[in-house]
Every structure is written in C-alpha cells, then in structure tokens.
Amino acid sequence: MLACGAVPALAADTDSSVMYRCPGNDYKNTISAKEAEKLGCKRIEGAPVTVIQMTKPRPSTATAASGGARVDPVAQRARDTDARRILEGELRAEEEKLAIMQKEFNNGQPERQGDEKNFQKYLDRVSDMRAAIARKQTDIAALQREIKKLPPPLPQ
C-alpha cells in the first residue's frame, strides 16, 4: 500500500498549526497552502484557536417523564439500512477515485506534463498527488469506520 510512504509527505504539505479561514466562515487546518489558495481561503496569523466543549442538553420534561423517547425498532432499522446504503455508495465512489488517482500517480512516477519543463514543478505536482492520495485513504478509512458502527444488515 501507499499509505506508509505518503504519510511523511502529507505532514510536510500540511502544517496543523496553520489555520485558514475559508469562504462561509469555514475554518480549516488540514489543507495545504495550495489547496487554501484554490479554495480562496486566507491564512490566519497568530490567532489563537478556541475549542468550546458543548454541554449535553437537558431532556424536556415530557421526555423525562416518559422515560425517554423510544424510536420504533422497525423505523430505526430502516434508518440504519438507509445510512448503510448511503455510506457504502460513498465508499465505492471514493475507492474508485482513489484507484484513478493511484493509476495517474504511477507509483511515484507520473507522466510529465507539457508545462513541467522545470523539474521542480513536476516534483511539486508529485508531492500534491501523494498528499491527495493520503487524504483520500483517510476519507475511505473514516467511511469504513462509520459503516462498522452500524448494526449488521438483516439477512435477505
């Protein structure tokens, strides 16, 4: 697998201590400078990042009196089945994208493009490709974890 060799490159391309403010007040610290530029994000210099821990909401008196709202098991099973179907569809799509990316990457030796007469430009593209593959692998692992959290499907 490519994950072992891609992780150091990912760490080099993204610095988690750098924060970017993207359009729509979306704050990110997991993207590279090039990605931030493409998305129209602005680098935040020296601004401390505050994480606020949310408290659990108190149950309403009606819910508390009834012992908590119960979801019909049939309805919950249907929701779980829908969630599994959606997540598995996303997983297949992400795996297909990863396969295409890995094919283009060609084990670290992608074909040079016409505008890459400067070898550094080529190396930058290879580095970006390596980082994108590592992110895609992380996304796939997250989808797989979410699918594992769901109850197993009913036998047909």
The pLDDT tens digits for 48-99 are 666 567 787 776 655 555 556 788 988 999 999 999 999 999 999 999 999 9
What is the pTM for the complete model shown?
Answer: 0.53
Whole-angstrom CA distances from 45 to 20, 53, 69 are 9, 24, 46
Q: At what angle do helices 119-149 and 73-105 cross, to 10 degrees?
A: 160
Average pLDDT, the chain: 81
